[in-house]
Amino acid sequence: MLVLASQSPRRREILTQAGFSFTVRVPGIEEVRRDSESPEDYVRRLALEKARAAASSPLEFVLAADTVVVVDGAVLEKPASTLDAERMLLRLSGRPHAVLTGVCLLQGGQALCAVESTRVYFSTLSEVEVRDYCASGEPMDKAGAYAIQGLASKFIERVEGCYFNVVGLPVSLVYRLCKQAGYSFNEG
């Protein structure tokens, strides 16, 4: 059995569209970056902690992920307010940034963890465009304050790497980890 340790509707949708059968079990962990922790180490650690927190049987495969946006070494998570979202979007305007997702597949005592990185290039945005987008409410539960698959799609000039990573789950990486762990796709 595959367990998705996430409350993200985007992750559920990606897995469903790719043909995965799974149940959802939301872990309750605190998501706080440690001093001097690299963005890559941060998302990898959170994915592992989420998988461990959601595990209830050594027979199940638990999939967990965490996504952040990184620009100029700064980690942008979900905005705390509309003003925070506006600040993030103005920082991303007219420049590239990285979207990092830590993924962990836990089964029994074995954890397979990896980090996917995708480069995203934003158009230059005016303050009015940023305010209008933030007024939609879409940025509020998204790392980096935007949804590439939603209203923000018109701001994206190009993507280098896995598009699904930017949405929230690099499904090709998940598939590779499942195969490596011996997950049987026929059993669901």
So which residues are the catalytic ones?
Answer: 66
Q: Measure the CA–CA gap between 148 and 99, rounded to whole angstroms.
A: 11
Backbone angles phi, psi at 153, to 5 degrees: -55, -30
Interior CA angle at 19 toward 67 and 62, to 5°?
Answer: 50
Task: Give the pair of three-digit tokens for residue 59.
Answer: 């027979």
β-bridge partners, 107: 61, 110
Helix (H, G, I), strand (E, B) or coil at 13: helix
Q: Measure the CA–CA gap between 21 and 68, rounded to whole angstroms.
A: 26
Task: Give the pair of three-digit tokens for residue 145.
Answer: 């304050």
